[in-house]
């Protein structure tokens, strides 16, 4: 009986350890990725990442344009309220009358006119972030609409969603040969920093967000 029992459990009946290792190694080799397969997977990942990034950039720009359109519409409504009370739109001979949207596309040149608009609509003096006592506010600006972003500093300009100054001009009121509107021009360059051409096809201002 002992011989028969040991015969039942001899390792030779189940294969040697070396043969088990060989079969196991062969199984792992068959299940591994080849270099070509890995390159294909990496290529697909890179393509998908590029598509996601381009989509995110488009969505961000679309959102910024929508916000700029809404802000221009809101400030335009405030300007109408200002005119109803004062008989004129906010206008300054050294700032808004001299800024011509047809020739100036650099937002760094807009800050003086933009600050004058801020003071007029908010009822502030010298860019203060609180309105002057007894002065009517026609528009309450959100912190992200004001530059610089540091709220401990006085306002220097009204900031568009692209991080630049809004443009505000009354040049047409000063001279009908300049500006676009006999009332006022209010616009964002939508992130562009190029002056409109003085002649030829204008491909710059059609990309702006504007009230004309």
pLDDT in tens, 35-73: 888 888 888 888 888 787 777 777 788 999 999 999 999
Alpha-carbon Rg of the chain, whole angstroms?
34
Q: How confident is the model at residue 27 (pLDDT cuts 50, 70, 90)?
A: very low
Would you list the DSSP string of 106-117?
-GGGSHHHHHHH
In angstroms, the CA 119 to CA 125 distance is 6
pLDDT in tens, 152-193: 999 999 999 999 999 999 999 999 999 999 999 999 999 999
Cα 136 to Cα 82, 118, 132, 133: the distances in Å are: 9, 13, 8, 9
Averaged pLDDT, 22-36 = 62
In angstroms, the CA 163 to CA 141 distance is 15
Contact 103, 196 (CB under 8 A): yes
In angstroms, the CA 65 to CA 160 distance is 9
Q: In what order do the strands lie in the sheet with 167-169?
A: 167-169, 185-188, 209-210
**Which residue from 118, 182, 187, 189 is spatially nearest to 155, judged by alpha carbons?**
118
Enter the pTM of the model.
Answer: 0.75
Give the per-residue pLDDT at 4: 52
For the chain, report the end-to-end CA distance as a whole number of angstroms.
107
């Amino acid at each position: 009986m002992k011989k028969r029992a040991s015969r039942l459990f001899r390792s030779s009946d189940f294969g040697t350890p070396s043969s088990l290792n060989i079969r196991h190694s062969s199984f792992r080799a068959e299940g591994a990725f080849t270099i070509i397969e890995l390159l294909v997977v990496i290529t697909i990942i890179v393509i998908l990442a590029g598509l996601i990034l381009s989509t995110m950039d488009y969505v961000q720009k679309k959102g910024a344009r929508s916000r700029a359109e809404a802000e221009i519409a809101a400030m335009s409504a405030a300007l109408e309220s200002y005119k109803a009370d004062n008989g004129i739109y906010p206008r300054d001979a050294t700032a808004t009358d001299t800024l011509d949207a047809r020739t100036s596309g650099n937002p760094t040149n807009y800050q003086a006119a933009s600050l004058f608009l801020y003071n007029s609509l908010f009822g502030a003096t010298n860019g203060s972030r609180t309105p002057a006592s007894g002065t009517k506010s026609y528009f309450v600006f959100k912190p992200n609409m004001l530059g610089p972003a540091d709220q401990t500093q006085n306002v220097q300009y009204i900031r568009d969603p692209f991080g630049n100054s809004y443009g505000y001009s009354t040049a047409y009121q000063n001279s009908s040969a300049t500006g676009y509107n006999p009332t006022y021009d209010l616009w964002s360059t939508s992130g562009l920093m190029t002056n409109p051409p003085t002649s030829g096809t204008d491909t710059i201002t059609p990309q702006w967000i504007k009230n004309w």
